[in-house]
Chain A
């Protein structure tokens, strides 16, 4: 461990703002694209599910009207 205390670690020898700014935005951007990609997957799967349900309902309605 290079730092004596936690506050030393945060201060980064006076460069804390720049170091944490870089690491912070980096983490933010990486997590942002990761979660937006995962969210897209969910969205697409839901829309496929909705489409399937809709077709099912149409089929059912047709059958009922025929009866």
Chain B
């Protein structure tokens, strides 16, 4: 089979298609954000509204809420393509599947992760986060949410062929999220003490680089198993 398009064209085409689909049904973008906001609202109601306590717990609350809300969108990442058969076409095409997968994961991050990062400053006000911690929160989310999308996509790829894949996927993926959670929250914690937190950021960055290289391979082999 001859390749009529360059890899870059393929990448941007897949990415653009997913973004366009998401923008047409806006609920996909808005719902995880609303979920994130509601979870953040629940915490002060559950543990009490003292500003000191909230500020102390804010990094954990924000990150746990971010984990859960990215889980919501993950199920959709390959499901529609699986049902209308285009996933099969993508696998059968002569283009490398990891590249296509990379484009899809990037699109997924732009739909679910990026809005979260952009809106966090607003949500953080609810939890009494000071400006130093706010900067750290935004940076860790910026590094961490793509990582969540990559790891989560492995689980999504494994469970896409199953009827009730949703809960199973969170079971598979959440334990793998733990290192991200630990380093991200500790970076924010360190920043509230006005200490240098570049070490944690460097580790998050390293994990992101490893994920960008290796996760697409794992995701595409998972998809091949699910589709065959």
Touching chains A and B, CB distance < 8 Å: no
